[in-house]
Amino acid sequence: MRSSVSSFASNESAAELRLAALRLTEEVDPASKARNTIALAATWQQGRLALDSQAMLQPSLPIPGRPEKPELISPKFVKQRSMHTEEGRAATIHALAHIEFNAINLALDAIWRFAGMPDDYYADWLKVAGEEALHFSLLSDHLQKLGWRYGDFPAHNSLWEMAEKTSEDVLARMALVPRTLEARGLDASPPMRAKLAQAGDHAAAAILDIILRDEIGHVAIGNRWYNMLCAQRDLDPVALYPQLAQQYKAPVLRGPFNLPARRDAGFSDAELHALSAGALAAADRDQ
C-alpha cells in the first residue's frame, strides 16, 4: 500500500507543524495516519516542532490520502442494518470509524490549509486531530474484535465534500464543518450508545462515551474560532450562519438535538433557538 509518510518523527528537530500535517493528510494507510497523528500531537506538546504559520503549502499527492476501501457511495445508498445482528453492529462501528477517519483528515486540513492564523488555532486543531486519531484507533480495534476491518463496508464522503467546498475561507470552514456536520455527533451519540448497550456491546458504548466527551471540546473549538473570525470581520455570528449554510448548501439540520451538549460546546441560547426554529420549519415543509 502506498504511503506518503513513513515516520515524520525521523527528523523531529527540523519538523514544521503545518508541513507535517499536510504530509499526514496525504497518508494513505489509515493505521499509519492515526498512529503518526497521535505522535505529531505528542511531539508538539514536547516543544519539538516549529510553527510555520505563514507558509503557503500545496499538496504533492492527492488529498486526503485514503485506502482503496471502503468504497465511497452516496449517503442514500448506505444501508441501515439492525443492531440486533453482529453484522449490523459491525456496520455501525464501521460507519463511526469512517467518520473518525474523515475527522482526522479534517483537523489536519484545518492546520495546513489556512495560513496566518494565531498560534492557538494550530494548537487547538492539532489537539483535535490527535483525539480523532485515538477515536479511529479504538473503533478500528473494536471492529477487528468483531471479525471485520475498516474498509469492509461501503461509506459516504459528505464530511470531506464540505471541507472541499469551504477550502477558500476559514470562516466558512469553522461554521460548516465542526459547528454543523461534526456537531451532529453530539445529537447522534447518546441514542446510538443506548442501542449498542442494549444489544450487549458495552465495549462500543464505552468508546462512544469517550467520543462524546471529546467531541464536545472539538465543537467548542469550532465555535471559538468561528466567533473570533466573526468578531474580526465585524459580522454577527447568528445572522451570518444561515447565509453561509445556504451559500455552501449545508444540510438542513433536524432534531432531536442534544441541547445540553451543544450548550457545553459553546452554542449560545440565540443559536440554539434559531436551530430549533429551523428544524421546526423544515419539518413543516416535509409534511
268, part of any domain: yes
Which ranges in 233-287 belong to alpha helices (H)?
A: 237-247, 259-264, 269-286
Residue 120 lies in a domain: yes
How far is it, in rounded angstroms, from Cα 260 to Cα 281?
22
DSSP state of 179: I
Round to whole Å and give the CA distance between 40 and 22: 12
Domain with 219 in it: what CATH number? 1.20.1260
> What total number of domains does the chain contain?
1
Structural domain range at position 135: 14-51+77-286
Map residue 206 onto helix, strand or coil.
helix
- Residue 6 is assigned to a structural domain of this protein: no
Q: What cell numbers appear for 134 in the block?
A: 485515538
Q: How far apart are CA 94 and CA 88, in angstroms?
A: 10
| 116: in domain | yes
Q: How far apart are CA 102 and CA 110, in angstroms?
A: 12
Given a contact cutoff of 8 angstroms between Cβ atoms, the answer to whether 216 and 261 are in contact is yes
In a domain, 5, yes or no: no
For residue 106, tell me if it sits in a domain. yes
User: pLDDT tens digits for the chain (287 residues)?
Assistant: 344 444 454 444 337 999 999 999 999 999 999 999 999 999 999 999 999 999 999 999 999 999 999 999 998 888 888 888 999 999 999 999 999 999 999 999 999 999 999 999 999 999 999 999 999 999 999 999 999 999 999 999 999 999 999 999 999 999 999 999 999 999 999 999 999 999 999 999 999 999 999 999 999 999 999 999 999 999 999 999 999 999 999 999 999 999 999 999 999 999 999 999 988 777 667 76
User: pTM higher than 0.85 for the full model?
Assistant: yes
